Every structure is written in C-alpha cells, then in structure tokens.
Structure 1
Amino acid sequence: MPKAAYDKIGKYLVKRVIRSTGSADLYEGFDPDLEQKVALKIFLIKERLLKKLPYSRESWQRRFIREAKLLSQIDHPHVISLRELSTWEEKPFYVMPYVETNLLYEMGVDGDLEHYAPELQDAPLARQLTVLRSVEILYQTASALAAFHGRGLVHRDIKPANILLTKKKKGLVKLCDPGMVKFPNSEESLGGYWIGTEDYIAPEQKRSAMDVKATADIYALGVMGYRMLVGHLPAGVFSGPKEDVAAVPEALNDLIMRSMSRKVKRRPINALAFLTELAPIRADLRRRGG
C-alpha cells in the first residue's frame, strides 16, 4: 500500500490511501467537526502521466477542478456527491462522503493481481454475480449515467473500480471519477489518443477520445454486464451470457450483446435508452425473485 503524502489536508485527518492514479490521490479521511469519515481527493500529478499524454500540468489541474464542479452540479442518488472544493499547499482537493467499497470487491479482479494497483491487492479473484444483482448494478449505473448523458457529457471511464458500493453484496451504486468526462465541444480531447480502461473501452474510443458519444459508455456498460453475469471478460469470438448462464433472460442477453457491438448504431443511443430496455427485465426478475 502506498504511503499517504499527507497526514492532514486542511482540517481533515488523513487515515490511508484508497487509490492513487496518475493525476490524483484518494484518501480515507476524518472530519473532526462532523466526527465522520470522508473521502479526500487531492490533485497530485505524476510524471508518468505527463510523459504518456500530451497534456500540460495546468490542463490536468483544470480537469480536476472541472471534475469537482461537475459533481457539485449533479444531484443524483447514484452519483457520488461533493461536500467541499478547496486548496491545500497550492493543490486543489475536494471532499466526498466516504463509501465503503467498489464493484471489484464484489465481482473480483481479472488476471494476475500484479497488474492491479497496490490498494487492490486484497480484492478477491474473478467471480460471477447473480442475474438479479448484475441487473440491479447495471440499472443503477445506467441511471447515474443518464444524468451525464442528459447534459451532453460522456463519462469515458465506466469500469468496476469507478462503481462505488455503499456495502458489499447489497450496497447501492455511487458512480464516481468523472475526471475523463468529455464535454460538448471540448477542445481538450485530442485526435489520435485514447483514454479509459482497456478492458472496458469501446473500439471507437480506442481509436480517438475526441469524437466519442454516449454510445461509448453503453459499450462499457455491456462489457460490465457480461463480466458480472459470466465471471470473465468477453474475449475473441464469444456467445452471449445466456450460453453460460441459462437463467439470463433472452431480452437481457440481447441488450448486452447489442451494447457491446462494434457497430455503434446497434447499441442503445444513450443511458436512458438502455434503461428503457432494462427496466422491464429488472421488474420481471424482481417479481420472480431473481
């Protein structure tokens, strides 16, 4: 586990590192006034990121601040909320509610743990989720995504680590980390570069981050649904999840496979369209108890 760069950020006590990325560190902290845990995200750019992508330190800092301001504008039960945006030692940071875990701790990690960040070394190995639980997580995530798509935003980094859960196995989704969001008419996305997480990234996003639409997030939703249901990532030539899990409804099988289509026009156009198809599937599974 990496050592926290700070013992204190503003008034907040720093307890441990939750996650360290190329542009920021996320800490478990403690608010002495409210006497409760919080999550603290502080801008700490790493040289490896500056070398990898042609963005300046100032550009990354603007993204970080924009990320915080975006979270402050989205009031949604399945999107992480923002409590404060401030500066500490000339570095911007923001404060969020502390959320217990993320989807990786429920569905497990894929492949060798050596490829995962140090803070994920205690996550379990890959496993399947029940059909009902998979659908519930998909539904809540798509609901959160609809708040982005409705504003003309593309998240561009939908993956299990960004799906926070208030509790393991039965917790509610809190979508986080919109640092790679594509804003309408943004000039910061460059052609010829891709951002995101390779296992969940749409083919067109891997070609270029500049021109992606909401359908790129739908692709990631489809991959996540397949992975939760089957217990491993789709690779090579593969059949729908129903081939491995008989309990998967035909409509769900079709929705996931279309969402993962390399042909963008076959996918639901945005998260609201995805939800419209998923809602009756979810309702039927709930009636039947999964």
Structure 2
Amino acid sequence: MIGPGRQLGKYHILEKLGAGGMADVWLAEDTTLKRQVALKILPPEFARDPERATRFEKEVLSSASLQHPGIVTIHDVGHEQGVHYYTMTLLPGGDLKQKIRAGLSPQQALKLLHQMADALDHAHGKGFVHRDLKPENIMFDGREQPVITDFGIAKAVGSGTKMTGTGMSIGTPHYMSPEQAQGLADLDGRSDLYSLGIILYEMLTGQVPFDADNTVGIAMQHVQAPIPRLPQSLGKLQPLLERLLAKDPGQRYQNAGELVQAIDDALSGKLPAPAAKQPVQKTQVLKAEKSPPTGKGSGLKWAVGGALLAAVLVGGFL
C-alpha cells in the first residue's frame, strides 16, 4: 500500500500531491541526493500488464532526453515491489487550471501560449508528440514559468495492441484533437497544436469551447461543431484561434515554430493570417439520441458516432 512514510527504493514518500487517470503524484525525498521530487506512480491495473509497464518505462526514459526549460526534467524511472514509478522536478507553482480559474489577461494568455509553443517546438523537433495536453499537465516552477509535464505518458499507458490493436492513443475528451476523437493512430505535432487552441480559448474565456453531457458528445463536437466566436473585445485573436482549431490538420499551423511567429505578430499588433473558411457560430451542446434517426444522412451521422464511441470506450473514458 502506497502512503506517507513508505520507502520506495531510494525515495521516502511524504505526502500525496494529486491523483489522475494515468498516475498518482506524491511528494517524496530522494534519500541519496537529499532533495524533494515529484514521484509519479503508475496505477496498479496498468502495472499488472507487463507489456504496458515495459512500454511505460521505455516512453519515460525516451522523454527524459528532452532538455528545455518549458519541459519538466525526468530524474529517474523504475519499479520496486511491483510498483512502477518515475520521478521529476518538483514544480511548486500549481497548474494552469488554477490560473485560469483565477483569471488571465489576454496578454498573459498569449505570453503563456508563446512559452508552451516554444517548448512544443523543441519536443516535436525531437519526434515527440504529447497526445494529452491540458491545463492540468502544465505546471509552474518557482519563477512562475509554465512547464509541460507527462510527455509520452498518454502513449505509454493509453495505447497498445491489447487495448486497440492499432497503437492509437486518446487524449482527455475536452482537449483531444479531431484526429484523436476519430481514433486515428498516426498523430503528429498538429494534434498538440489543436489542444493548445482549446487551452487558448479557455485561458481567454474561462471555459472550454466544446462541451456536452457525455464523452461521445464532446468528441463529436471536435469533429463536427463550428469554431466558436471569441467575445468582441478579443476579436483580433479569432484568426489565431481558428488556425489552431481547424478541423483539418492541413489548415492549422504546420508546426509549433509557425505558431510562435504568429504569437509574436499578435503581440506586436499584426493580425494573424486566417485559416481557410470554416463555419463559425456558437457551439450548442449535443444531446445523445435515444434511437437512430431514419432521415437522409443519418447513416453517416451514426457511423461517425459509432466510431467515436468505440474509440472512447477503448480509451477508458466512460
């Protein structure tokens, strides 16, 4: 049983910092180096699967090669007494979700977006795709600088032949890209940029752009719903948002470096280039239908819905 006072290898567990679907987070002391670290422990149901546990360690070791001030430093990965874990730099400044709740100015939001995009540009250049960007995975260090955590973890614990047969991974529903919502396996950095677009909208307005009363409904909105309008006072940022949230990856910024330049332009007063035309209106909450419709076009709608439902079910979000 994991808890305060337990020794896990050279780590003395002090207190629980948080819990999530992919890992529980503990404050621990490295008794060799005499420093505090964040200790992330893989859930038991994942650790019992040898293939997934091995993949977890491989992905963490691989992501440890990322060296950037905007990406958390991985210190160690291992397993002890059947518990699989990794340790990373302790980030004392809370997460982005907390700052969104407190309120951010447009200038603060753009500055944070710039810093996150710069970190992604580094990671994507090394061949890494995050797959699960969300405010809870963006922490702050002691200097109040954003630091992206959990690179590769979504792929490690959320995919594999036993789960999907395709190697696909699914992100958190409110922040997943249309490609993820449709269960596509071949994701690239543009999927992360879409997730950044969701985060930008949330930083500017305090709410996510797409919502519904169930996970499948949220996923369908990512695929089908028009991009919502920002409030009139933020209208100059609409082209930037629309490029990030384009349904077609080919209409988005093609890499994070392009996004960094667009943010620089926005901060200097230049208008971002718009994406190709897409319908724009306020998003409506989709209600799950109780019986299949029979009208024209209903077959396609239900085929898409069925694919999304299957993807979400294997991703473990229901």
Shorter chain as denominator, the TM-score bin is: 0.7 to 0.9
Counterparts of residues 1-290 of structure 1 (less than 5 Å): 4=3, 7-46=6-45, 57-100=49-92, 101-108=94-101, 128-167=103-142, 171-178=144-151, 179-181=153-155, 190-191=165-166, 194-235=169-210, 239-243=228-232, 246=233, 248=234, 250=236, 252-282=237-267
Distance 1:79 1:224 in 2: 17
Cα displacement string for residues 1-52 of structure 1 (whole angstroms, at most 9, x for unaligned residues): x973872222222122223334432211123444432111223333xx69xx
Which range moved further: 5-14 or 259-268?
5-14
Distance 2:227 2:179 in 1: 20
Q: Which letter does structure 2 place at the counterpart of 1:38? A: V
- Count of residues in correspondence between the two structures: 250
In the TM superposition, residue 103 of structure 1 has moved relative to its aligned partner by: 0.8
Q: What SS class does the counterpart of residue 147 from structure 2 fall into?
A: strand
Asked if structure 2 preserves the Cα contact closer than 8 Å seen for 1:141 and 1:175, the reply is: yes
Match of 1:124 in 2: none
Structure 1 residue matching 2:130: 3-state secondary structure? coil
After superposition, the C-alpha distances for 1:69-127 in whole angstroms (9 at most, x for unaligned) are: 1232111110000122233214332221110111111113xxxxxxxxxxxxxxxxxx5
Three-state SS of the structure 2 residue aligned to 1:38 is: strand
The answer to whether the 8 A contact 1:154-1:217 is kept is yes
Q: Distance in 2 between matches of 1:174 and 1:255?
A: 22
Q: The residue matched to 1:241 in structure 2 has which SS?
A: coil
CA distance in 2, matches of 1:25, 1:70: 21
Displacement of 1:269 in angstroms is 1.1
Contact 2:155 2:169 in 1 (8 A): no
Stretches of structure 2 that go unaligned for 5 or more consecutive residues are 211-224, 271-318
Percentage identity across paired residues of the two chains: 25
Q: 1:66 to 1:193 in 2, by over 3 A?
A: closer
Verify the 8 A CA contact 2:77 2:87 in the aligned structure 1: yes
Q: 1:192 to 1:9 in 2, by over 3 A?
A: closer
Task: State how far apart, in whole Å, the 2-side matches of 1:18 and 1:75 are.
Answer: 24
Worse-superposed segment, 81-90 or 149-158 = 81-90
Change in Cα spacing, 1:19 to 1:200, as seen in structure 2 (3 Å) is same
User: In structure 2, how many angstroms separate the alpha carbons of the residues matched to 1:190 and 1:256?
Assistant: 34
1:224-269 deviation digits (Å, cap 9, x = unpaired): 00110011111365643252xx1x472x321112211112221111
Aligned partners of 1:204 and 1:216 also within 8 Å: yes
| Structure 2 counterpart SS, 1:37 | strand
AA partner of residue 12 (structure 1): Y
The TM-score, its normalising length taken from structure 2, stands at 0.69
- Checking the alignment, whether the CA contact within 8 Å between 2:134 and 2:172 is kept in structure 1 is yes
| Superposition deviation, residue 159 in structure 1 | 0.4
Asked if the contact 1:194/1:206 (under 8 Å) is kept, the reply is no
- C-alpha distance 99-223 of structure 1, shift in aligned 2 (>3 A): same
Distance (whole Å) between structure 2 residues aligned to residue 268 and residue 78 of structure 1: 20
Whole-Å separation in 1 of the counterparts to 2:267 and 2:32: 41
Instruction: Give secondary structure in 2 for the equivalent of 1:233.
Output: coil
Q: 1:3 to 1:43 in 2, by over 3 A?
A: closer
TM-score (norm: length of structure 1): 0.75
Question: Take 2:78 and 2:98, find their aligned partners in 1: how far apart are those partners?
Answer: 31
Q: Distance in 2 between matches of 1:283 and 1:74?
A: 30
Give the whole-Å Cα distance in 1 for the aligned partners of 2:246 and 2:124. 19
Taking the aligned partners of 1:90 and 1:71, their CA distance within structure 2 comes to 22
Q: Larger radius of gyration, structure 1 or 2?
A: 2
